[in-house]
Amino acid sequence: MADSSDATRPPTHHAVPSHEDRPVYVIGGGPGGLSAAYAMRAQGVRAVVLERSEHVGASWRRHYDRLHLHTTRRLSSLPGLAMPRSFGRWVSRDNVVRYLEKYAEHHELEVVTGVEVSRVEPAADGTDWLLRATGGRELTGSAVVVATGYNHTPHVPDWPGRDAYSGELLHAGQYRNAAPYAGRDVLVVGIGNTGAEIAVDLVEGGASRVRLSVRTAPHILRRSTAGWPAQRTGILVRRLPVAWVDRLAGPVGKISVPDLSAHGLPRPDTGLYSRVNEGSVPVQDVGLIDAVRQGKVEIVAAVDGFEDGKVVLANGDRIGPDVVIAATGYRRALEDLVGHLGVLDERGRPVVHGGHTPKNAPGLYFTGFTNPISGMLRELALDAQRIAKAMAKAKASERG
């Protein structure tokens, strides 16, 4: 890998590089960025990955210790390098990091670390792209792939009284393991996959009490049923009409997952795939169902705010946990980077992804900003191939 000085090293000749000579810059050294860089190089397109941290896979390094992929190893490999069988069926966080390091090394990718891109804008020539980065760098590329990731910037709601709250409050992104919370009363806010798994981890790690604050009851799936992973079902149904999948998922859910209504988790009244399209993926069970049924994880109402050292819930209850962990998601945080280009929707998400490029911003690509039921890594791998083919086609068109 190169160090950050490589990003500004001048060419050894004095001629201005042509559009074709300029690299494609890939912003982000996670699985999306690395796979796109490899796929482009396989198509004869030079790609340089710019990573703001000192290592590839930075977001994976920050995840909690017990995290394992909810997708199978065989369906989670990136193009050009299979994950080792020794990683097992459900790959651990640490092994994902090892795999990403090996991936960059194995493919000899051009990765420049310690460079954060703050803004992307059209270059003066009208065909290239100008990237403004740390240290006053100005980099010019023939195209740009934005792969900064779905989990970019931690989001904690601006609850009333939050700033005056004197108790311990942290985002789930700061949580590593249950050791600091043994013997303590902990409230986890949010029942996505992260919140559900942290709640189970706290129970197993010896927290004295674990409550899980839920605003909207989620769909819960078994990660695997009789050896059949939920991911494979997600792949099979992904292209079907939403209403069909909703109807199919209802009976299957009732058979495989017990009714938890008596414990505060009623079955959702919105279809599974309808919820996915709204941005809410199902919770893959890694122990939550049993923990709720056994009363080890207590379901409570949504958090409305903080007052007099207490947490105020939507049903009017006030509780006093020792620790509040906000598993309240992340923001894509693309507004400063590309918001001025008119390529984001009202929720801050790219209007296109994969091999498509916005009509008003040709040469600008996005990967990793969807959360599909068929598996994030699998979709990143497919997106990488699509981006590379689109890029190669565009370059061939320029030459011809």
In 230-388 the beta strands, taken as DSSP E runs, fall at 283-285, 297-300, 303-307, 310-313, 318-319, 323-326, 330-331, 364-366
Give the rounded percent of residues in the chain with a pLDDT score beyond 90. Answer: 70
SS3 159: coil
- 170 and 145 inside one domain: no
- 237 and 107 inside one domain: no
- Model pLDDT for residues 156-207, shown as the tens digit of each residue: 999 999 999 989 999 999 999 999 999 999 999 999 999 999 999 999 999 9
- 266 and 183 inside one domain: yes
- 174 and 264 inside one domain: yes
SS3 185: strand
pLDDT of residue 250: 75
Residue 229 φ/ψ, nearest 5 degrees = -70, 145
- 125 and 248 inside one domain: no
Average pLDDT over the chain reads 90
Q: Find out whether 320 and 309 touch, Cβ atoms under 8 Å.
A: yes
Q: Find out whether 221 and 285 touch, Cβ atoms under 8 Å.
A: yes
**Residue finishing a domain among 272, 296, 326:** 326
- 10 and 120 inside one domain: yes
CA distance from start to end of the chain? 34
- Model pLDDT for residues 252-269, shown as the tens digit of each residue: 777 778 999 999 999 888
Structure tokens at 203: 């129970």
- 225 and 140 inside one domain: no
- 246 and 147 inside one domain: no
Number of domains in the chain: 2
Domain that holds residue 44: 4-152+332-399
pLDDT of residue 19: 59
Assign residue 8 the CATH number of its domain.
3.50.50.60
Distance CA 296, CA 317 (A): 20
**Residue finishing a domain among 296, 326, 356:** 326
pLDDT of residue 323: 98
Q: Find out whether 182 and 158 touch, Cβ atoms under 8 Å.
A: no
- 289 and 250 inside one domain: yes
Residue 55: pLDDT band (50, 70, 90) is very high
Structure tokens at 290: 């049993």
Distance CA 95, CA 76 (A): 12
Residue 146 φ/ψ, nearest 5 degrees = -95, 115
**Residue finishing a domain among 311, 326, 341:** 326
- 270 and 355 inside one domain: no
pTM of the entire structure?
0.86
Q: Is the pLDDT of residue 38 over 90?
A: yes
Residue 354: pLDDT band (50, 70, 90) is very high
- 60 and 22 inside one domain: yes
- 266 and 390 inside one domain: no
